[in-house]
Chains A and B, each alone.
Chain A
Amino acid sequence: MDTPDFKVRTRAKLADRTMHAVLWLVALTFVGVLLVFVGAILKQGWPELNLHFLTSMPKTLDAGGGIAPELLNSLYLVAISLILALPIGVGAGIYMAEYAGQGRALRFFRLCVETLAATPSIVLALFGMILFVQMMGWSFSIRSGAFTLALLNVPVITRVTEESLRAVPRELIEASYGLGATKLQTILKVALPYAATGILTGVVLTAGRAFGESAILVFTAGTNTSDKFPDFRLSVPGETLSVHLWYVTSDGTLPDASQIAAGTAAVMILVLLVLNLLVRLLDRAIRRRTR
């Protein structure tokens, strides 16, 4: 047999290099877009960022208002919604990964979770308004907002938990059973610790999304804040940063609306950056302990 012309390989090599360059460019584009975007927001908002802006109450008609209650409400709402969503989401994720088996029940349950995850937030918002604000009589309040926000969070956490658990190496699960562990012991002592970083990452993504959510909160937590600061009552209205941002720009009664908006946007971006950074650190700490 003749040796074939192996030089055709050069084409494959060329394609390989081209693809490498293309993908690199795509990645670079992403970084570029992000940098321009974050840069623009921070550049506009930076002059507004000062202690006064962060610590004083907003004003309805005059210039010089702050965003203290909005910042607090944002974090507070996200925290409460996570406290509500975590046990349900993680529990459902465990059920789907470990107990539902492979049959119809799992498929049906997954369909439900995915439908819920794909529901537009405005639909959730109206649902939350009808259920919590009107039927439950909670009016526009932190708790109405937190419960509705939790509806947004649960399917994501469920999905992330399930996938993280499925990614736990089979060998570890077998090792645990092999030592005489029960199913519950195996899940609690081996699977969940291993899946923790994955779940944590998912939770933070959820938190970020909830932090930026506006539609749901406009209809459930309201566009006002309590007169007191700080006010941790669950029954008071709880306007968040994103709602505030939307409100000041669309209402137009504030003389310094654009400055307030720029400052609010910058604060939101900064909070998200800090949040992501925190997760990185936490993730690394857990990973070091468990892998």
Chain B
Amino acid sequence: MRSFDTELKNLRDGIMAMAGIAEEMIELTIQALAERASAKAEQVQALDRQLDEWELKLDQLCIDLLALHAPAARDLRLIASSLKIVPELERVGDHCCNIARRTAFVHPPILAGDSLEQLGARTRSMIRRAVDAFVGHDAPLAHAVIQSDDEVDELYGQIYRELLRLMLADPLCIERASHLILVIKNWERIADQATNIAEEVLYILEGRSAKHPYLRGNAVE
């Protein structure tokens, strides 16, 4: 195998590793919220450090590959997209840290049912599937991820409205509810990032940008 192909594999492996860490962090935030487990919140902080380290490493790898191998076509698209996917995954970590910091302020629970866990689980699944699409060159899966974003947005809206209702009903829960609003906002952002990753995957696979569909057709050449 050529050294270039080895390096490309290293890049893919690195992105998979980052995705694994990000996923684990999302899972930890779900558990930390449910169980008020500060140990898990601390674990999240530790994992974020790993993500940051990966980001530096993979950024450098991409730059080296661009500089030394002058890649073209799908190689070029892979590396250029990796340069965008890596920071998305790193931001997932930041959002998780944000959530982890709030776990101490949301108890006792004010929301009935498991809508919070559901929102967390869906965002986690989106990250998972976006990276699966990246690894498996799976365009339909990437399309599915982009569609899932609407469901997450809807669920987010529901919880948001519920929290507003609770705050109006009982001023004592305003502090917890406002923390929760920020928590669900963070998850919703993570889902957006999964969408961005899925769009990059589509670019790698199909060679044209999947972003901003409303602009398509009158693109500037």
Q: Do chains A and B touch in the complex (CB under 8 A)?
A: no
Residues of A within 8 A of B (CB): none
